[in-house]
Chain A
Amino acid sequence: MAALPHTLLLSAGILGVLVVASVVGRVLKLKVAAGARHAVIDNLNARVKAWWLMVAVIGLALLAGKGGVIVLFAFASFVALREYTTIAPTRRGDHWVLLASFFVVIPFQYALVWMEWYGFYSIFIPVYGFLILPTIAALRGEVRDFMQRTATLQWGLMICVFCISHVPALLTLDIPGYADRNAFLLVFLILVVQSSDVLQYVWGKIYGRTKIAPQVSPSKTVEGFFGGVATTTLLGAALWWITPFTPLQAGVISLGLALMGFLGGLVMSAIKRDRGVKDWGSMIEGHGGMLDRLDSVCFSAPIFFHVVRYWWSA
């Protein structure tokens, strides 16, 4: 099986969906909203527009190869960590820890991914960051809320840097009979997880009645959850031809990804509620911040990476 026909078919599929979404959005705006302001439809159109941009950026990064993908996700980590620390309660004594997080930990983690040093990048933040960063904070001498501050920053690094770095790490897996096609794994992960978000949103908007976690995320419904997860599983199974999986395996893995993505959205929502903000930022129009878009990827990427690595890689 050659990679090129797959690339063309997949690209055509993604562009086709975006074109349909854009046309539907335009029609809704004209027919339902009659050209006037309409919160839901305007937001839908803003989201579709942002999707065009995101698809273009990811596509360009993939064309540029491993380096391009690593730079893109290092930047995503940077923006995500910035959004996270902006609403995290830190103190003056954390200044050096924050500097180290942004300017040492992020470049180092992605350099390790570039070097394909699995044994180090999978423990760098959980072990070395975990031990060294609190030491820096302690040396600065500020003890107030020390445990909370340390735990908060470590959690942020795990989510925003460690977890996200597992997306480009997919390119480094060595899968027999799948040489030079790892980029499809990355596309599969992002397609399945993001489709799951979109499908849960669409099912919820159409059939949503029962809130699944009203205290944490008022937009998540039982109907949206089951409808979204079921259709995501089918979609993932239908994409088996770009993966090293059988259709059944692709479906089961997609089910797992949809569930992890849902949990990611839930946990990240809990943090937003705790801090009293609606969105993580305003970087991506219609979507909110980087973390609003990547919350589900943060939770699913490491699991996907390890599933593939354990059962499929050499």
Chain B
Amino acid sequence: MSMLSDALGSGITGFTRLVTGAQARWIGCAPSAVQRIYFANHASHADFALIWASLPYDLRVRTRPVAGADYWEQGRIRQYLIHEVLRGVLIERAGHARSRNPIEIIVAALDMGDSLIVFPEGTRNTTDEVLLPFKSGLYRTASMRPDVQLVPVWMENLGRVLPKGEIIPVPLLCSVNFGAPMKLEPGEDKATFLERARRALLDLAASIRPQ
């Protein structure tokens, strides 16, 4: 990482902390340097930056977001940000022409030893639903690398700070909540696992929310 991109990374995390008043709460696990896939709810463009900002520096430089190539490959600034600053793992999403299997790309990134941030809903949630159904990528990745810890991450309020299509963020208080790590059980089928993972995220959300 060059000095400029390092500085930009710190700038982004600092700005995100300031605007969101971000509070990282390690509820189910500690911020320790083990390989993990953080799977989170996705409500805004600032989601990566916020999870990133919540990680201690030594973890942050070893954690890469998995992002949609169709969005991030457009334009020089986005390309620079995703490749040099965020060190994103770009995949081609369903519905777009795919030249490479996205799971292969994700597994290759895991094999380099880095942790990943994924949004299993597949797209930003702008509906009234709390959490959209999960795509199968999390299951397929877990079945190929079953030893990697899967950590649910619930981001509260970020969708309200910067809803889809808006440019200026509202300075509400956000929190990033890290739940207890889970793994794919031997013999667990896709539907059961995805439901269990989604449930884990919803339970985490319920545990930190009022009511």
By a beta-carbon cutoff of 8 Å, the part of chain A in contact with chain B is 78, 82-83, 85-87, 90, 92, 95, 98-99, 102-103, 275-277, 281-282
Contact = CB atoms under 8 A, between A and B. Distances in A.
**Most B CB within 10 A of own CB, among A85, A95, A99:** A95
B209 to A, nearest CB: 8
Nearest to B209: A276
Given A90-B160, A95-B163, A276-B211, A281 B170 contact: no
Interface of chain A: mostly helix, strand, loop or mixed? helix
A82 B210 contact: no
A85 B20 CA distance: 12
Interface of B: 21, 23, 126, 157, 160, 163, 166, 168, 170-173, 209-211
Q: Which of A85, A86, A103 has the most CB of B within 10 A?
A: A86
A281 B173 CA distance: 9
Nearest to B162: A95
B173 A92 contact: no
B126 A92 contact: yes
Contact of B170 (A83, A99, A275, A277): A99
Contacts of A87: 210
A99 B157 contact: no
A275 B172 CA distance: 16
Given A92-B126, A92-B160, A276-B211, 20 more contacts: A82-B21, A82-B171, A82-B172, A82-B173, A85-B172, A86-B173, A90-B160, A92-B163, A95-B163, A95-B166, A98-B170, A99-B168, A102-B170, A102-B171, A103-B168, A275-B210, A275-B211, A276-B209, A277-B210, A281-B173
A12 B170 CA distance: 42
Nearest to A79: B21
A60 B80 CA distance: 44
A289 to B, nearest CB: 9
Contacts of B211: 275-276
A103 B170 CA distance: 9
B210 A85 contact: no
Nearest to A289: B173
Contacts of B173: 82-83, 86, 281
A282 B170 contact: no
Contacts of B168: 99, 103
21 contacts: A82-B21, A82-B171, A82-B172, A82-B173, A83-B173, A85-B170, A86-B157, A86-B172, A92-B126, A92-B160, A92-B163, A95-B163, A98-B170, A98-B172, A99-B170, A102-B170, A102-B171, A103-B168, A275-B211, A276-B211, A281-B173
